[in-house]
Structure 1
């Protein structure tokens, strides 16, 4: 059973999201919250697989909720849900530890795709904001041509949530070699954090996007 937390200060939004999610027999909304503080507390108590968190809430923004959740040893993936189609907010969300950014106007067609991505520990970003991130994001240089094939694979696995040790096992490399590939990719892309690598992977389509995964909506 996949567990969900919904945090939004509008009752109607929470009810709508619950109705969509619980259409799946193996999905369950285990907690709701109407402000940021309660959202963090509910995440700690219930340890959901995915927390869908509104950006604008009383007491604490969704980005701050994501940052607080990352401070605990939780496996919860955070999706920032917002009316603001803003590359700046998307960048802030990823830097805070969220792994998905979805504009509410896209929810009807992309919510389930975004959630499915998170359940597989893959990042997701509304396409319109992904395009803006190319120009206003972390400062990473465009394209994958600067990365070696092995570095591209390492970046892809990092974005999918693999640790250096796990990547080493998948690629049959030493941890030291994996760390070297990761450091080289960060240097070439001009990023200094895991969030920067995730943003690059989303922009460069090293991970599947909403179009690639559109077939999930028909399941």
Structure 2
């Protein structure tokens, strides 16, 4: 069972997200929160597998909450709920430990896929969010793409294969099945990839994969 904490200051949004998650018998909403402080407190109390965080919340916003959760409850994967109007905040969250980004207006099936992916240790970027993140990272998009390709070129062919699948949102187990590798070997490749790309987490590596046109 995947245990989820849902944090959003709008009760109607929480109710809608909770209803979507309830459609999957393997997902359970164990707690809810209306602001960032409450989200951190509930995460400490319930130790969920996944924390769904709205970016804009009172007292402590989702970005600050994500950073605090990374420090205090590192085993809980953070999935950010965002809108296109909040593009500028997404890049900051990349360094704050978020495992994925999801549009509130997206397909409900995408929400279920995202929760399952980050619970399984994978990164998840909604395709629309991924393109906006890359565009938001700066005006020198061509230069960033060239830099990303130079970094990726330093990886071994197998590491590039793993990075491409990581960028597509696959978990270690799914990458192993696709490439016929045991999961421990995939984990070793992912660790090496993060080190060599100087990426702090799988999401940053996934963005580099997008920038380098590996997908």
TM-score between both structures, scaled by the size of structure 1: 0.72
User: Structure 1 residue 127: deviation in Å?
Assistant: 1.5
Give the direction of change, closer, same or farther, for the CA distance of 1:131–1:157 in structure 2 (3 Å limit).
closer
Q: Deviations over 1:94-153 (max 9, x none)?
A: 211011111111143421121121122211112222123334438563444453314425
1:8 equivalent in alignment to 2:8: yes
Q: Which has the higher helix share?
A: 2
Q: How does 1:35-54 map to 2 (within 5 A)?
A: 35-54=35-54
> How far apart are 1:30 and its partner, in Å?
0.7
Correspondence for 2:208: 200
Structure 1 residues 69-104: Cα deviation after superposition (integer angstroms, max 9, x where no partner): 100244211111122355432222221101111111
**Structure 1 gap ranges (5+):** 163-167, 208-219
Alignment correspondent of 1:28: 28
Distance 1:2 1:30 in 2: 9
Would you say the 8 A contact 1:30–1:46 is kept in 2? yes
Relative to the length of structure 2, the TM-score reads 0.74
Q: Distance in 1 between matches of 2:65 and 2:19?
A: 23
2:8 and 2:35 in contact (8 A); partners too: yes
| CA positional deviation for 1:51 | 0.9
Q: Distance in 2 between matches of 1:92 and 1:3?
A: 26
Greater mean deviation of Cα atoms: 88-97 or 107-116 = 107-116
Distance 1:152 1:86, change over 3 A: farther
Task: Give the number of aligned pairs.
Answer: 196
Given that 2:51 and 2:76 are in contact with CA atoms closer than 8 Å, whether structure 1 keeps it comes out as yes
